[in-house]
Structure 1
C-alpha cells in the first residue's frame, strides 16, 4: 500500500495489467492468484496504490488532525458488521 493524507479531486480505479504486474513484482508477498486486486488512487499530482480483496470508500469531511472514524475498531473486528 502506498498512500498519502489526502486526494483532492482523486479518482479510484482498477490498475491496468501493466500497472498490476509492476505492483505485484515490487510486493512479492501478495497472493494475486487468490483474488487480490490492485487499485490506483490518482490525482493531478501523482498516483498511489492499494492491494485489496475488497474496498469501500467514504468521503471524510473532518480535518487531518481529527481521529479516524476507524480508530476505535477493536482488533479483528468484522468490517461487514461495523461498516454500512
Structure 2
C-alpha cells in the first residue's frame, strides 16, 4: 500500500496517556485504560470536526486487538514488520 497522502487521513503519532492515580500493572492495561481510550476518542472527535475520515499510526501489533476491544474500527494498512525485535504495524483507525 502506498503511503497515504490525503487531507482526510491524519497521522496520530506520539500518542500516550498515563493515569497517575491508577498506574497500570501491564502494557496492555496502559493502552486500554479508560484515560487512554477517552483521550483517543477526543482526538478522533477533533479530527472528525476538521474533516478527517481516518487516522493512521504505527503501533505494536497487540494494540490492534485492544483498539477493537475498545470499540474502535481499526485495521492494518500493510503487513506487520519486525523493528528492533518488536512486531509493529501501520494502523488505520476509521472515524
> Under a length normalisation based on structure 2, what TM-score does the superposition of the two structures give?
0.21
Which structure: greater strand fraction?
A: 2
Which structure: greater helix fraction?
A: 2
Considering only CA atoms, is the larger Rg found in Structure 1 or Structure 2?
1
